[in-house]
Chains A and B, each alone.
Chain A
Amino acid sequence: GAVVSQHPSWVICKSGTSVKIECRSLDFQATTMFWYRQFPKQSLMLMATSNEGSKATYEQGVEKDKFLINHASLTLSTLTVTSAHPEDSSFYICSARARALQGSNQPQHFGDGTRLSIL
């Protein structure tokens, strides 16, 4: 159980293009989804947290107009990198978490990531 599917797994596109990445929870309802960015040989950097039906909460330094997040249903969140440039090239990973009672443990389950390369 607790499978998260992320699509596409690899994207190569030209500078100025907008790219959409999908994150789906396949066998559970994800009230909260997270988007991370990972640079080579580094840890995960949280970009934003989205709760179903509400606006995403962005971490400090992350441009919300650049990285558009939509969490329209309990099983789908999307990240759109608008007008992508080479510096946006990175590995983007989503995770999903089911509803949890306060204080209880509902771990984050991760997708397989999307490698984005902007030429």
Chain B
Amino acid sequence: GEDVEQSLFLSVREGDSSVINCTYTDSSSTYLYWYKQEPGAGLQLLTYIFSNMDMKQDQRLTVLLNKKDKHLSLRIADTQTGDSAIYFCAERINDYKLSFGAGTTVTVRA
């Protein structure tokens, strides 16, 4: 099945770490993605992870994948005000189709 779930809201203090969680259902997903959407804009690809990996780090971003539990997380270190946005988790269903979660709205407070 195609069902990606995320928590809807996250509030974090500037400078702290943010952790956004996502669960998915399709165990055959090969790639999982994190996208960022700022108000009134399209989606910006942040990072992705191949299903045979457990972790991927890219500067302030760390992706953890627990394939057994079908759980994906995105950690943003040293969260800044510019990180306030909606973050979408997506799994690749087949060779081309993505299934998106509902998005997590991250609010960074001073």
Contact = CB atoms under 8 A, between A and B. Distances in A.
Interface residues of B, number: 21
Given A32-B96, A43-B88, A113-B40, A107 B45 contact: yes
A49 interface: yes
Interface stretch (B10-18, B28-36, B63-71, B74-82): B28-36
A49 B96 contact: yes
A106 to B, nearest CB: 9
Interface residues of A, number: 25
Contacts of A102: 95
B97 interface: yes
Given A42-B102, A49-B97, A105 B42 contact: no
A111 B100 CA distance: 16
A43 B98 CA distance: 12
A92 to B, nearest CB: 10
A108 to B, nearest CB: 6
Interface in B52-72: none
Given A93-B43, A112-B42, A113-B41, A43 B102 contact: yes
A110 B42 contact: yes
18 contacts: A6-B42, A32-B96, A34-B96, A42-B102, A43-B88, A43-B101, A44-B100, A46-B97, A95-B42, A100-B95, A102-B95, A103-B30, A105-B50, A107-B45, A107-B48, A109-B45, A111-B42, A113-B41
